[in-house]
Amino acid sequence: MKRNHKARHKAHGVSKKKKQRSRAAMHRYLRRFLIFSLILIIAAAGIAWLSVTRPLTVSIPRQTLQAQKDAGIQYEVRLLPETFGNRDVLPMDQIYLAETVDIVAVDFSYQLTGDREMTWNTGHQINARVEIRDAEYPEQILLSQNINLLRDQQLAHPQTALIEETVLVDLAEYEAIAAAFTAPADVDLLYTLTVQLTVLSEAALAGGSFTVIDEPALRIPLQQPRFSIDRVLPQETNLSVRQPVRYQLVLIPLPFAFYAATAGTALVLILLILIFTKSRPRNKFRRQLRRMLRKARSRVMVIGDKAWEPEWCIRATHFKSMVKTAKKLRHPIFCYIDDAAQTAYFYVYYGENNYCFIFGNDEASAQTESFAGPERTPAPLSSDLDDEADDMPIPVLPESDGEMPGEENSPDVMLARLRVQTSHGR
């Protein structure tokens, strides 16, 4: 019974190995790409079905408007009769005498132009505001009184909003309001009249309603024997609007069986790829050989012919020591790569001897061991790049080429020294 159980277990193991060997090898990146593409198809089928039953809404920020603003204020100062010679009007940006000024005529202009077809819904009005402030703390307003000069005007403008209004400001009326305010004698006050145009513009854009407010104004000092008039205009002339725009994805409705069949077919293909294929194993020989060539890149020379037979050279058992020795001797390392046998042969010549290191195929290493004899048993290949071998003693070799010529430094003498040091080391 035990024999039958062992035989069945062995037969099961053999059949399992046969099944594993029957899997076709495929390039690993191609295999991953196919699996990933099929997963994307399954996800796309699911999203498409959801978009049919529940429309998908996506919000993406984008620029919905680029506009240009242009605000201007023009004014002229009209004088009282027979107070300034024959002149009745003074131009802008002058110094004015309060006792000669009668009326200030103010012309407001405002233009807002968009970069696309749209409609501006605007509302504008003009107000005069008397403000009284403490001269020591001008940011504090002690008294403020508003007087409406132009009622709210609602207009609709295609693409470009244009507003032009004119008001007449009688300074005597506002001087009376300022003079009526009583304050302690030891407090210095500032009186200001602000004539302001308030424009509220609204437009319906792709991302929703957008509103912009601008307030160009004219400031006139009050209770001053001499004064100048200042204009306050919007600082920004370019207007850029970015809004989140909502997009709704709606597909042509198809039967549910279509989406289910697409996702099911992709899933079956993924299972077939996973069961009947496998990734092609990586070439460890090439990867480790590249590391060895990089380590000896200052001395290595790759040749196209096998210059020496392994059985006719002295076998080196540690690749790092071989590279260090070649650098000390300033000798090149010849490398022959046998792709068919997955084997690399490294050679260094010194005097009449050739030193070789074989990396790769175990059969080539075993063949070299049989020719070398039992006394030349090589170290395993896995130790060729072991960092622990950095502590191994290296024979003392000349540091420069100037020590090489002469009888004392001939190749035979150096080889004899190496043999003596090796025997002492044992």
**73, 231 Cβ separation under 8 angstroms:** yes
Query: What average pLDDT score do residues 185-193 get?
Result: 82
Q: What are the tens digits of pLDDT across the range 152-178?
A: 999 998 889 999 999 999 999 998 888
In this prediction, residue 381 carries a pLDDT of: 42
In this prediction, residue 186 carries a pLDDT of: 67
Residue in the structure block whose two tokens are 């002058």: 94
Residue 151 has pLDDT above 50, yes or no: yes
Residue 195 has pLDDT above 90, yes or no: yes
Query: What average pLDDT score do residues 212-237 get?
Result: 92
Residue percentage of the chain with pLDDT more than 90: 27
Query: What average pLDDT score do residues 375-396 get?
Result: 40
* pLDDT band at residue 386 under the 50/70/90 scheme: very low
* pLDDT band at residue 407 under the 50/70/90 scheme: very low
Burial of residue 212 (CB within 10 Å: 0-12, 13-18, 19+) is: buried
Query: What average pLDDT score do residues 277-287 get?
Result: 78
Residue 417 has pLDDT above 80, yes or no: no
* pLDDT band at residue 374 under the 50/70/90 scheme: very low
Mean pLDDT over the full length of the chain: 78
Residue 125 has pLDDT above 70, yes or no: yes
Phi, psi of 314 (to 5 degrees): -85, 125
Query: What average pLDDT score do residues 107-129 get?
Result: 92
* pLDDT band at residue 416 under the 50/70/90 scheme: low
CA-nearest of 314, 324, 382 to 349 is: 314
In this prediction, residue 74 carries a pLDDT of: 94
In this prediction, residue 266 carries a pLDDT of: 92
Radius of gyration of the chain (CA): 48
Residue in the structure block whose two tokens are 């620029």: 63
Task: Return the top range by mean pLDDT from 40-49, 223-232, 416-425.
Answer: 223-232
Mapped to the 3 state alphabet, what secondary structure does the chain carry? CHHHHHHHHHHHHHHHHHHHHCCEEECHHHHHHHHHHHHHHHHHHHHHHHHHHCCEEEEEEEEEEEEEEEEEEEEEEEECCCCCCCCCEECCCCCEEHHHEEEEEEEEEEEEEECCCCEEEEEEEEEEEEEEEECCCCCCEEEEEEEEEEEEEEEEEECEEEEEEEEEEEHHHHHHHHHCCCCCCCCCEEEEEEEEEEEEEEEEECCEEEEEEECCEEEEEECCCEECCEEECCCCCEEEEEEEEEEEECCCCCCHHHHHHHHHHHHHHHHHHHHHEEECCCCHHHHHHHHHHHHCCCCEEEECCCCCCHHHCEECCCHHHHHHHHHHHCCCEEEEEECCCCEEEEEEEECCEEEEEEECCHHHHHHHHHHHCHHHCCCCHHHCCCHHHHHCCCCCCCCCHHHCCCCCCCHHHHHHHHHHHHHHHC
CA-nearest of 119, 130, 185 to 158 is: 119
Q: Give the count of beta carbons closer than 10 Å to the beta carbon of residue 344.
A: 23
Q: What are the tens digits of pLDDT across the range 244-273?
A: 988 877 777 788 888 889 999 999 999 998
0.75 surpassed by pTM: no
In this prediction, residue 372 carries a pLDDT of: 40
Q: What are the tens digits of pLDDT across the range 9-32?
A: 555 554 555 445 567 878 888 888
Comparing 390 with 80, which gets the higher pLDDT?
80
Residue 190 has pLDDT above 50, yes or no: yes
In this prediction, residue 419 carries a pLDDT of: 52
Q: What are the tens digits of pLDDT across the range 300-352?
A: 888 888 777 767 788 888 888 888 888 888 888 888 888 888 888 888 887 77
Angle between helices 319-329 and 284-295 (to 10 degrees): 30
In this prediction, residue 103 carries a pLDDT of: 92
